[in-house]
Amino acid sequence: MATQISSDIATEVDITARKNDSFYLKVTLTKSDSTAYDFSSYTHAFLLVENSSGETVRNFKSSADSVALPNVASAISLTAASTGVLTINTGSANMNVPKGTYSYNLCIQNAASAPTEKITIMYGKFKINN
């Protein structure tokens, strides 16, 4: 029997939020031995929410770039990255999304590395309730 190796560390987690409410989610990343995953060398993070056609519904970003919806700048904080904590926080105006079930990927990215390193840490369904 062959030995199996997987570089996929992503965890499937379904998220539910309410339309037009503020959205706050604090994620603590841990390694298989339950110690904190230090991702302080990563420069960006994003939570990409897409509909069934693959169109972006929201893209919550850590960067402060001036962007318009569906992109939401400065919605992710990496200030506690050395302790494995990533925080997503956005106001109600950014959650004006039609009721429904979407898919999402939460990724961290190190744009300073060559090539750019991107790791999906969570994925799943992103449900919006009225």
Here the CATH number for the domain that contains residue 125 is 2.60.40
**Structural domain count of the chain:** 1
In a domain, 62, yes or no: yes
Phi and psi torsions of 81, nearest 5°: -60, -30
Residue 5's pLDDT is what? 86
pLDDT of residue 68: 87
The answer to whether residue 68 is domain-embedded is yes
Q: Residue 74: inside a domain, yes or no?
A: yes
Q: Specify if 98 maps to a domain.
A: yes
**Is 47 among the domain residues?**
yes
Predicted model pTM:
0.90
Is residue 1 assigned to a domain? no
Please give the residue range of the domain that contains residue 28. 20-129
| pLDDT at residue number 25 | 96
Per-residue pLDDT reduced to its tens digit, 10-25: 999 999 999 999 999 9
Q: Is residue 12 part of a domain?
A: no
Q: Is 24 exposed, middle or buried (0-12, 13-18, 19+ CB in 10 A)?
A: exposed
User: Is 7 inside any structural domain?
Assistant: no
Return the pLDDT at 114: 81
Listed as ranges, residues in the chain with pLDDT below 70 are: 66
Tokens for 32, please give them.
């298989």
Instruction: Return the pLDDT at 1.
Output: 83
Contact by Cβ (8 Å): 101, 89: no
User: Facing residues of 17 across strands?
Assistant: 128
Give the per-residue pLDDT at 16: 98
